[in-house]
Amino acid sequence: MTGRGRPHKAKSPDTKCAKGKTRPEEVKQVPPPRCPGKSFTEEKQNGTIKEQKPKVQKKTSHTEDKPSVQRTRKVEATENFTEISKQQSTTTDHIKAPVQHVKAKKCVGKAKSLEKVSEEMTKVQPEATKEATKASVKTTKAKTSDCKTKPPGKITETKTQPETPKDTTNADSILYTTLEKLKIKRDERSDAAEVINKIVKCIIAHLKQNTICFKEVGEPLRTGSYYENLKISNPDEFDVMLPMPVDRVNINPFGENGAFYSVELKRGKSPLQKFQETSILSASKMLEEFREEVKKCVKPFEEWAVERKKRGCPAVTLITEVQSVTISLDIVLSIMVKSSWPLFTKDGIKIEDWLGTKVKQGFKRMPYYLVPKYEGKGTVENEGVLAKDVWRVSFSHVEKAILKNHGSEKTCCETGGARCCRKDCLKLLKHLLSLLKKKDSSFDKFCSYHAKTTLLHACCSRTKDTDWPASNLSQCFRLLLKDFVTYLEGGVLNNFFIPTQNLLSGPDQKKCNNLARRIREECDTGFPIFK
DNA sequence: CATGTTCGCGAGTGC
DNA sequence: GCACTCGCGAACAT
């Protein structure tokens, strides 16, 4: 309960706008760009050719599950496990079937409750489950390379123990099917990457050549889910941070949670000096000018539109359309600080047991970033500093590095190493959250960063790769859900890097409870929402 | 399941 | 410092 009721909310990831990504429905409503997503040169060559590419079916198209149905299912959830084993043989084969049509939800009732999952996990732990689930998974997903160690077990023999895979198998199928659906098509990715990279390059060139204050812009940091290989469904959201190097700065916490700071440039001449009104570097002024420059640069590209400024949002959001899919690109202004991380991070990133102390030290030697983000009213003053002029710490480069190198063993997920399901679990959680958000607008304040943070914490408590075997997706995912539900019900989810910041201080407890309840329902009924 | 493709990205190179 | 190439790994595709 500790963090509850803190004055400062912090619901969205540092580089992200409070609204932008946290509200999928808004993204959809973005004003249609004038021209279908190609810049001049290609417009000619491609405009006609690629037209007929299959549209990505909106994954939500047939998610018409009724709450009442779920309620009744709950009863079945406690149903016997032997039944499941019978079904297992029938269900495994349709797992193979690639995506699209999902079979009728015959096997829904077999889901287990969150509590059950955790009990099982703790007593079973890797071996038993691994071997058992392997049997079923092997037939379905050949890519799990850790199948080699053991022969497929005979699942039907393992009797009524709850940890037998039988009951997870049905859930597995829907999860694998869902993951399959969430994959990004190569062509779409390719088209989007081309368009995105072109404009990013152009913006950087513009800043270097035509501005003084942003001339020193550094290498773009490609952050966010697309670049972490965690983007689901469509390659339609891109985040690029443009870092302005600074020599030395003084930072002072703004508010109590340690996420926001006022910034003073120390000695020496910096092109950023012009943004210092008093001694502090005005985030609002700097962002304003940055925004103008980006607009100037993008203007000639008629296929790109600049989204309206959103309060407190550090990004200039650009919108375009590629193959009639709307794509948004967040260009995020940031300051790169090379000195040691803020004190508030001292008890954060507890990755020692998971990734090791050396890895952690490596991260802590990296710079950190500040982005012009604030919450609430910009005119709120605190020790002579206006909220709109403060900066928020960002560790998205570290998040990316962690996600990329996420195993306790170096070989995790490499060819020849064991495959884990950490990222798959996160994808599923993100997807689940976004589907729930679509159905209930009161979940607006929950965002994918909550999911990501939950996973990071989970990795720190279940540290070994054997805690996350790819063959055990269903149970791992359910455990992750259990974590999330626990955070929601407690109203506390600490920022992974700044533990004093409660990411759930935004939404009130009632909303947290509602979301927790919805997640439980989904879990107990075999995720009808995915169907 | 092996092999091919593409993108992202870091290391290396030359200027 | 900078642009550019190269090669590798991840993820998708066949």
Q: Which nucleotides of C are covered by protein (CB under 7 A)?
A: 2-3, 9-13
Which residue lies nearest B5, CA-to-C1' measured? A186
Q: How far apart are CA A455 and CA A433, in angstroms?
A: 13
User: Strand A325-337 vs strand A237-245: parallel, antiparallel, or unpaired?
Assistant: parallel
Which nucleotide has the least CA–C1' distance to A397? B9
The C-alpha atoms of residue A445 and residue A19 are separated, in whole angstroms, by 9
Q: Whole-number Å distance, CA A411 to C1' B10? A: 19
Q: How far is CA A204 from CA A40, A293, A298, A522, in A?
A: 19, 10, 11, 45
Contacts of A369 (CB under 8 A, 6+ apart): A14, A221, A241, A243, A334, A335, A336, A337, A393, A394, A395, A396, A397
Predicted confidence at residue A181, as pLDDT, reads 92
Q: Is the CB of A145 under 7 A from strand B?
A: no
Question: In this structure, are residues A512 and A488 in contact, taking their beta carbons and an 8 Å threshold?
Answer: yes
- Output the distance from A197 CA to B11 C1' rounded to whole Å: 21
- Assess whether A278 (CB) lies less than 7 A from strand B: no
Alpha helices in A211-265, H assignment, sequence order: 224-227
Helix (H) or strand (E) holding A245: strand A237-245
Residues whose CB is less than 8 angstroms from the CB of residue A436 and which lie 6 or more positions away in sequence, other chains included: A443, A515, A518, A519, A522, A529
Is-contact A259 A495, C-beta < 8 A? Answer: yes
Residue with tokens 């368009």: A195
The tally of CA atoms less than 13 A away on the side-chain side of residue A276 is: 15
So what's the pLDDT on residue A374? 96
Residue A454: which residues within 8 A CB-CB, separation 6 or more? A429, A480, A483, A484, A487, A493
Nucleotide of closest approach to A226 (CA, C1'): B8
Q: Which of chain B's bases lie under 7 Å from a protein CB? A: 1, 5-9
Q: Report, in this order, helix, strand and coil percent for chain A, each rounded to 5.
A: 45, 10, 40
Does the CB of A185 fall within 7 Å of any strand B atom?
Answer: no
The pTM score is: 0.74
Query: Token pair for residue A513?
Result: 């409870």
CA dihedral of A389, A255, A15, A396, whole degrees rounded to 10: 130
Question: Which three-class secondary structure state does DSSP give residue A418?
Answer: coil
The candidate with the shortest Cα–Cα distance to A503, out of A24, A115, A16, A27, is A16
CA distance A181 to A419: 20
Query: Å from A272 (CA) to C3 (C1')?
Result: 26
Return the pLDDT at A117. Answer: 67
Q: Does at least one atom of strand B sit less than 7 Å from the CB of A142? A: yes
Residue A439: HSE in the Cβ half-sphere, 13 Å Cα cutoff = 19
Distance between CA A500 and CA A494 in Å, rounded?
Answer: 7
- Closest of A287, A290, A321 to residue A304, by C-alpha: A321
For the CA of A298 and the C1' of C1, the distance in angstroms is 27
3-class DSSP state of A239 = strand
The answer to whether the C-beta of A148 is closer than 7 A to strand B is: no
List the domains of chain A with CATH numbers: 13-160 (no CATH), 182-405 (3.30.460.90), 407-531 (1.10.1410.40)
Per-residue CA distances from A339 to A28, A249, A348, A454 (Å): 40, 8, 17, 28
> Which nucleotide is closest, CA of A194 to its C1'?
B7
A227 CB closer than 7 A to any strand B atom:
yes
For residue A165, report the phi and psi dihedrals to the nearest 5 degrees. -70, -15
pLDDT of chain A along its 531 residues, tens only? Answer: 333 333 333 333 444 443 333 333 333 333 333 333 333 333 333 333 333 333 333 333 332 232 222 333 333 333 333 333 333 333 333 333 333 333 333 344 445 677 666 666 554 444 434 344 434 443 333 333 333 333 333 333 333 333 334 444 666 789 999 999 999 999 999 999 999 999 999 999 999 888 989 988 999 999 999 999 999 988 999 999 999 999 889 999 999 999 999 999 987 788 888 898 788 999 999 999 999 999 999 999 999 999 999 999 999 999 999 888 899 999 999 999 999 999 999 999 999 999 999 999 999 999 999 999 999 999 999 999 999 999 999 999 999 999 999 999 989 998 888 999 999 999 999 999 999 999 999 999 999 999 999 999 999 999 999 999 999 999 999 999 999 999 999 999 999 999 999 999 999 999 999 999 999 999 999 999 998
| Residue A170: per-residue pLDDT | 65
Q: How far is the CA of A341 from the C1' of C6 (A)?
A: 35
